[in-house]
Each structure stands twice: as structure tokens, then as C-alpha cells.
Chains A and B, each alone.
Chain A
Amino acid sequence: MGNVMYAYITHPDTAPDFTKPPTFDPHVGFPNGRKERTIQATREELDAAGVPLDRRDYCVDYFLKLLRCRDQNFPRTVSSCHHEKHDYEVCQYEDYVLRMKEYEREKRLKEREKRIQEMQENEELGD
């Protein structure tokens, strides 16, 4: 739990708020910007498939594929759809890794901001 020590004891000023989305411009450090996250399914498709709200994340395409596979292969839903299930779980894992990366990016940008601010204050004192 190094992050807890970091956030509450050693660096409470530069610790990101894990309850709120990132605060910096998402394109900082990317000259041409970053690729946007997209999904292929539309709202109408999701409503028609009855996908619950907590499944409507950026892996919903894989989830729809899994639902379709289960529907077509009933009752052999486990043996016939384990590839689709694995794809969906890999997508969820990568989504979690992305959230970790966002946290680390927010943390480093906050530290960078603080470093620049201290440098400017030192220059003002030197003059």
C-alpha cells in the first residue's frame, strides 16, 4: 500500500484525487494528441440487448459478442464461448491498466507542476 503512504503521509500535496477524473489536459506530452476511446455499439443497440448499466463500459462490444455467442450456442454456453469470455476479460484488464496509467500520469503531472512552481519562486528570490 505504498500509494496510501504517498497520499496521506509523504506527499499529500501531489497525490491525485482517486474519486475524480483527471484534471490536466489529456493531450499534454502528445504532439498530435491521443487516440480517443470509442465503441461500435450505439445506445439503441444496448437498449435493445438489455445490457445493464454497469456493463456499458468501453468493453461493451466484447460483452455483446459474448451475449450473442451464448444465445447461438445454448445450452453449451461455457464450452462454446470461452474465447469470447476471455476476450471480454482481457478488455476489462486493459481498462483497469488504463485507469492505473491515468493515476500515474496525474501524479507525475502534479509533481512536475510543483517542481516548476518551486523553480519560479527560487528565480524570483534570486532576482
Chain B
Amino acid sequence: MATLRGAASLPKIIRPFIARRGLSATAVLSNWNKDWKPGPFPKTPEERAAAAKRYGLRVEDYNVYPDDGMGYGDYPKLPFASGDSKDPYEDWDIPELKRNYGEPLHALADIIGEDRWDANANPRYSYLDMFLTLAGFLTTITVIYILTLPYPLFLPVMPKQYPFNDLYVENGGSPETEPSIRHYTFEAVEETD
């Protein structure tokens, strides 16, 4: 009986949740992509403080891209640090991305990930050195190849012999001009008296 009484009062409990649920309060509309778009370029110190708070930064850490038409509105200008330059032993919340929860992403985060471009690489040899080394190696090989072109490696054999006058007609020669080519074994003809 108690179960039935509870079932009878259930509509009274959930009705407000259904009735008051407008379209603007749904999970879809409150997470639409326009809600993730950066705001307009901040001009006053108050706007800067509001923007810094929006992105979870302190005001003194907050820097912004110049508003020259190619900027990102109030999106913060973060240090240009790719994945390889971040400490692998730090206790990241998301170790795969070396990122903490709620941490703002760089505007170019899709290209400076660990799987893409290491923007802060400090190679042992400069890129010019690397290019010159490769170019020098390839040039040396090419020069050796060109210089030794007139001297092919070969095995000590004469050309293969074919019957029917070295297949003269078979290879497109005219039967009228067919030469008579004879090939011989290394067996001597025995003397016949």
C-alpha cells in the first residue's frame, strides 16, 4: 500500500522539472559552439579582468593577441610551448595531453601537440647543417655515379648466342637481308680420312 501511495505522489514531484524545462535550459543549447567563441577584444582594465577570470587566469598572467584583424578576440595569448617541452614527470590531470583540468589551451594547440610540431626544439646540429650534410652526401653519390657511367661492372662472358642467325627474322629483320651467323662449341671435329 505504501508503494502505491508513493506512486500516486510521483507526478506531483516531477511535474515542476518537466514544466519549467524551457528550450534555453536544455543541455544542448547551453553547450552550443557559439558559447565557446571568444568574446570581443577587451579595452578597459575591467574588461581585461573579466576576460582573465573567464579563462581562469590571473590578471597579471593574462595577455591578449593584438586586435589587428587576425587576432582571437579576448582569447588569452599563452606561452608557445609544445608538448615535448612540458615536464613528463609532472602529475598532470590528463597525462596523455600533459594538461591539467580547466587549463586554457593555446590558440594553436592542435598543431603544437606531441604528435605534431615541436616548436621549441633545440637540435644538436642546426637545420642548415643537416640540410648541407644531406645535400653533400647526395651530391657525392651522384658525382660518383656520373663519373663511373662509362665503366659498367660486368661478368666475364660474351653475349648470349641464339639460333637462326641470332633470331634475325624473329627480331624484325627482313628475310632478304638475313646474315649467316654460325656458332660453334668447343669440341674439335675429329679427323676423317
Chain A residues with CB under 8 Å of chain B are 1, 3-4, 7-8, 16, 18-22, 26-27, 30-39, 43, 53, 56-58, 60, 95-96, 98-104, 106-107
Contacts and interface: CB of A to CB of B under 8 A. Distances in A.
Nearest to B190: A32
Contacts, number: 100
A100 B157 contact: yes
Contact of A18 (B157, B162, B164, B184): B157
Interface in B144-172: 151, 153-164, 167, 169-171
A3 B153 CA distance: 9
B184 A36 contact: yes
B110 to A, nearest CB: 56
B184 A37 contact: yes
B132 to A, nearest CB: 33
A18 B184 CA distance: 18
B167 A53 contact: yes
Contacts of A98: 161, 185-186
B14 interface: no
Interface residues of B, number: 27
B164 A43 contact: yes
B154 A3 contact: yes
A39 B184 contact: no
A8 B151 contact: yes
Contacts of B154: 3-4, 7, 18
A95 B160 contact: yes
A31 B160 CA distance: 26
Contact of A56 (B163, B188, B189): B163
Given A98-B185, A98-B186, A39 B163 contact: yes
